[in-house]
């Protein structure tokens, strides 16, 4: 019972991060049908930038909470610019190319960003300086920290904000219209190039926040961390139904929980043959099962597209 509750709490924390990253995949996919495999690296850059700013500000004697906030804002801005530049430089010239071409480009961009990061931040693990006095709370034998509470709260706020943006604002309307029929959206006066750029920019902003969360949760960063994180978030997006925002949110949380429960019980299940460091396999088991039995994902039903 203790393990169950504990792993649920850990899973929801992890899932909140996956969900934010998954939203970046799903928004871009929903609008141009591209899996932006470099998105995980955008998140990684977000973590790295946040790290650099925190170290710099901490050395200058800025109070921790202020330093964290500024670091997050800076990394959001940097990632938005990066997302915009990615679309502009790598994907827009390939808008009318066969589907495989931008996909390969995305993998290429992911490698480029990893190497840029390695040059700037080195190839070793970077330790995040502890910024917040960690408080530990207990509930029913399970524990959680104030960092976890902050992560889940902030992720929830970002998601509510995104839903508001997509359903209540003009740019959101334009994004939904473009996702459903880009030609007709342009007839309505929607500038498609602008909408596509916005999808990258917003997705990258969410990714930057997720990057900051990962950094403060695990307290380490590495130039290759975006790869596995990105792959799992992609799995979460597929699980929810790629192209579907609510699906990405639900898929992220669900994947986080599955992974945490898997890690918690894998020892018991295999008679301690496999340990919790095998937790990564659960995400990919989920991916394979979803692709085999329900490739459209949990929320991916598309009815009524045709008359």
Partner 1 sequence: MLEVNGLRVAYGGIQAVRGITFHVREGEMVALIGANGAGKSSTLRALARLLDPAGGNVRYRGQEIQTLPAHRLVEQGIALVPEGRGVFPRMSCLENLRMGAYSRNDRREVDNDLDHVLGHFPRLKERAQQLAGTLSGGEQQMLAIGRALMSRPKLLLLDEPSMGLAPIMVQKIFQVIRDIAAEGMTILLVEQNAKLALEVSQRGYVMESGQITVSDESSRLLADPKVRAAYLGE
Residues at the contact surface with partner 1, assessed by CB under 8 A: 170, 173-174, 176-177, 180-181, 183-192, 303-307
Q: Nearer to partner 1 by C-beta: 177 or 257?
A: 177
**Residue 181: CB minimum distance to partner 1, A:** 6
Q: What's the min distance (Å) between Cβ of 186 and partner 1?
A: 4
Q: How far is the CB of 171 from partner 1 (least distance, A)?
A: 10
Instruction: Between 124 and 303, name the residue whose CB sits nearer to partner 1.
Output: 303
Task: Using the minimum distance from each CB to partner 1, give the nearer residue, 153 or 194.
Answer: 194
In the complex, minimum distance from the CB of residue 300 to partner 1, in angstroms, rounded to a whole number: 12
Question: Measured from the CB of residue 295, what is the shortest distance to partner 1 in angstroms?
Answer: 19
Do residues 22 and 218 touch, judged by C-beta distance below 8 A?
A: no
CB closer to partner 1 out of 94 and 173: 173
What is the DSSP annotation of the chain? -HHHHHHHHHHHHHHHHHHHHHHHHHHHHHHH----TTHHHHHHHHHHHHHHHHHHHHHTT--HHHHHHHHHHHHHHHHHHHHHHHIIIIIGGGTTS-THHHHHHHHHHHHHHHHHHHHHH-SS-EEPPP-S---EEEETTEEEEHHHHHHHHHHHHHHHHHHHHHHHSHHHHHHHHHHH-HHHHHHTT--HHHHHHHHHHHHHHHHHHHHHHHHHHH-EE-TTHHHHHHHHHHHHHHHH-TT-HHHHHHHHHHHHHHHHHHHHHHHHHTTTSS-GGGTHHHHHHHHHHHHHH-TT-SS----SS--
Q: Which is nearer to partner 1, 76 or 195 (CB)?
A: 195
CB of 95 to partner 1, least distance (A): 14
Q: How far is the CB of 184 from partner 1 (least distance, A)?
A: 4
Tokens of 85: 């530049």
Instruction: Closer to partner 1 by CB, 96 or 277: give it.
Output: 96
Backbone angles phi, psi at 136, to 5 degrees: -115, 130
Minimum gap (Å) between residue 193 Cβ and partner 1: 9
Nearer to partner 1, 203 or 243 (CB): 243
Phi-psi region at 249: left, alpha or beta (left = phi > 0; alpha = psi -120 to 50): alpha
> Is 277 or 306 the residue whose CB approaches partner 1 more closely?
306
């Amino acid at each position: 019972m203790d393990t169950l509750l504990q792993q649920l709490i850990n899973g929801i924390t992890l899932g909140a991060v996956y969900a934010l990253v998954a939203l970046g995949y799903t928004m871009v996919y929903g609008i141009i049908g591209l899996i932006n495999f470099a998105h995980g690296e955008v998140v990684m850059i977000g973590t790295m930038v946040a790290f650099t700013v925190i170290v710099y500000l901490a050395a200058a004697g800025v109070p921790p909470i202020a330093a964290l906030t500024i670091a997050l804002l800076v990394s959001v801005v940097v990632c938005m610019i990066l997302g915009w530049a990615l679309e502009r430089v790598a994907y827009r010239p390939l808008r009318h190319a066969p589907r495989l071409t931008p996909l390969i480009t995305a993998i290429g961009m992911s490698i480029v960003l990893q190497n840029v990061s390695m040059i700037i931040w080195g190839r070793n693990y970077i330790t995040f300086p502890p910024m917040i006095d960690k408080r530990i709370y207990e509930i029913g034998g399970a524990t959680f920290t104030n960092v976890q509470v902050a992560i889940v709260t902030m992720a929830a706020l970002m998601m509510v904000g995104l839903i508001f943006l997509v359903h209540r604002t003009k740019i959101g309307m334009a994004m939904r219209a473009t996702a459903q029929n880009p030609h007709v959206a342009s007839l309505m006066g929607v500038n498609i190039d602008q909408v596509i750029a916005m999808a990258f920019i917003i997705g990258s902003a969410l990714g930057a926040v997720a990057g900051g969360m990962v950094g403060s949760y695990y307290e380490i960063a590495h130039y290759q961390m975006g790869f596995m994180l990105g792959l799992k978030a992609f799995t979460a997006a597929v699980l929810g139904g790629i192209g579907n925002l609510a699906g990405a949110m639900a898929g992220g949380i669900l994947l986080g929980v599955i992974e945490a429960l898997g890690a918690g019980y894998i020892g018991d299940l295999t008679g301690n043959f496999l340990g919790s460091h095998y937790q990564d396999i659960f995400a990919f088991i989920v991916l394979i099962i979803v692709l085999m039995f329900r490739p459209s994902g949990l929320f991916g039903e598309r009815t009524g597209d045709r008359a």
